[in-house]
Amino acid sequence: MRIGLIGAGRIGALHASTLASLPSVTGLVIEDVDRDLARVLAEKVGAETGDGLGGLDAVVVTTPTSTHRALIERAAAAGLPVFCEKPVAPDVAGTRAALAAVRAAGVPLQVGFQRRHDAGITAVRDAIAAGTLGTVHLVRSATHDPAPPPPGYVAGSGGIFRDCAVHDFDAVRFVTGREVVEVSAAGANRGDAYFAEAGDVDTAVATLTLDDGTLAVCTATRYNGAGYDVRLEAHGSAGALAAGLDAHTPLPPITAAAPYAGFGERFRDAYVAELTAFCALVAGTGPNTCPGEEALAALLVAEAADLSRREGRPVRITEVAA
């Protein structure tokens, strides 16, 4: 199949090299508003450059969040399946519009919540589904970045909950199979001033209440100097399971090898698995492992967390979904 990849930045470069290595991908066409960047990446991974949708079987969108909706709508209008990086859009209305476009066109939209393809996190989901943890009372999910992104990224990111903890919100829903009904959140700024200047925080905690009463705690920071640390734990009446604890986890004294530098290393296998799944979806041989509706649900949790943090009160999901 021929895949068009739009956006040759950080995650675009990662996905381009994965796609170029997949046997089912016979052609890869890279597009970026920065044509030099597209050309350099295409040369590196053995792809072509181009800026139209003609001759493509599917599109992979790895541009900044603010551009996703228009690119999803363009691919949908051309009748092409779309893989889009998270989040689908920075706001609920834009997310709903993108979902409506793919629904009307009858094309699948798979969203890049790669934790759904992480071996440890899927093992936690399987254990909860099989009942081996008993009644799950508590889920803890963490995204701790080693160093903050630049000011320009922060200003356009939608804030720490929509940009970063949205992965944790999706992972909590994914492993438990439950919906979030209420969120209480807090944030802090003890790092660079540009977070506060953008109305954002550099560190945050969100407590989620799920629809069966289970509690989940999601923590996120942009300043985890020890390294990139993404973990998830589920604690139940019959047992507990942790995902993301291995020799690279930057948690002295358990770190036994070089700590993860970033998402590229931590989720290498998950990124390959999610794009392999997308190619199977395009070929009609596999399911959509993360439909757009899942991204909307995670974004609603982020919206509630942001409002809770700003107003210092618990926020129910029904309030932000209205």
Ligand X SMILES: NC(=O)c1ccc[n+]([C@@H]2O[C@H](COP(=O)([O-])OP(=O)(O)OC[C@H]3O[C@@H](n4cnc5c(N)ncnc54)[C@H](O)[C@@H]3O)[C@@H](O)[C@H]2O)c1
Residue closest to 204 by CA, chosen among 214, 193, 189, 194: 189
Among residues 19, 42, 56, 85, the one that binds ligand X under rule CB under 6 A = 85
CB 149, min distance to ligand X, A? 8
For the record, the structure tokens of 288 come out as 């959509």
- Interaction pattern, residues 11-40, with ligand X; x per rule: CB under 6 A: xx------------------xxxx--x---
Interactions with ligand X, residue window 193-222 (CB under 6 A): none
The counts of H helices and E strands in the chain are 13, 13
Integer Cα distance of 104 and 75 in angstroms = 12
Q: How far is the CB of 62 from ligand X (least distance, A)?
A: 5
Q: Which stretch binds ligand X (CB under 6 A): 1-9, 133-141, 277-285, 308-316?
A: 1-9
Selected from 17, 24, 67, 122, the binder of ligand X by CB under 6 A is 67
If binding is defined by CB under 6 A, does position 63 make contact with ligand X? yes
Among 3, 6, 216, 272, binds ligand X (CB under 6 A): 6
Q: Locate 66 and state its tokens.
A: 């603010």
Name which of 65 and 141 has its Cβ closer to ligand X.
Answer: 65
Structure tokens at 39: 């050309």
Question: Tokens for 292?
Answer: 């757009």
Q: Tabulate helix, strand, coil % of the chain (nearest 5).
A: 45, 20, 35
Sign of CA dihedral 45, 51, 54, 59: positive
Size of the site for ligand X (CB under 6 A): 23
Chain contacts with ligand X (rule: CB under 6 A): 6-12, 31-34, 37, 62-65, 67, 85-86, 112, 114, 163, 263
